[in-house]
């Protein structure tokens, strides 16, 4: 897993040597003590055969991050069909678009929305 500090978010990128699903989510949870003031982007675009269950496995972590930490949590899904994903999970097809979502949500929080 690659972990990078982007403009205003921590980016966790899945790599071919990483586990899939819950094990990958648990690797990210290991970083949580350092994420209390950061937006999070999870890049799953390199997942082979990404499926809905892979994305939904992050729902609990996404909900917690948005409600308790009060920061953005965006999953990069590449070419996956977004129609099947619940609206509560923020998704983007690319890292740049995920960063745009983080920027927009930061502005909304600054304005009190």
Residues 6+ apart with CB under 8 A from 65: 35, 40, 71, 72, 73
Structure tokens given for 56: 């939904």
Domain that includes residue 65, residue range: 2-111
So what's the pLDDT on residue 7?
A: 78
Which residues are registered as beta bridge partners of 5?
10
So what's the pLDDT on residue 37?
A: 85
CA distance to 17, 34, 40, 93, 103, per residue, from 71 (Å):
29, 13, 8, 20, 11
So what's the pLDDT on residue 10?
A: 94
Give the CATH number, domain containing residue 75.
3.30.750.24
What global pTM score does this model have? Answer: 0.91
pLDDT by 10-residue block (mean), the chain, 113 residues: 89 87 83 84 90 90 92 93 88 95 94 84
So what's the pLDDT on residue 90?
A: 95
Total of domains in the chain: 1
The alpha-helical segments, DSSP class H, found in the chain are 22-29, 52-56, 59-64, 95-111
């Amino acid at each position: 897993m690659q972990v990078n500090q982007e403009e205003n978010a921590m980016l966790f990128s899945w790599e071919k040597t990483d586990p899939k699903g819950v094990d990958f989510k648990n690797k990210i949870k290991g970083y949580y003590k350092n994420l209390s003031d950061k937006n999070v982007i999870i890049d799953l675009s390199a997942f082979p055969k990404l499926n809905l269950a892979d994305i939904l496995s992050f729902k609990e972590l996404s909900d917690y991050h948005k409600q308790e930490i009060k920061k953005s949590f965006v999953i990069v899904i590449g070419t996956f069909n977004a129609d099947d994903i619940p609206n509560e999970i923020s998704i983007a097809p690319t890292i740049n678009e995920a960063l745009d979502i983080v920027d927009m949500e930061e502005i909304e929080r600054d304005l009190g929305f």
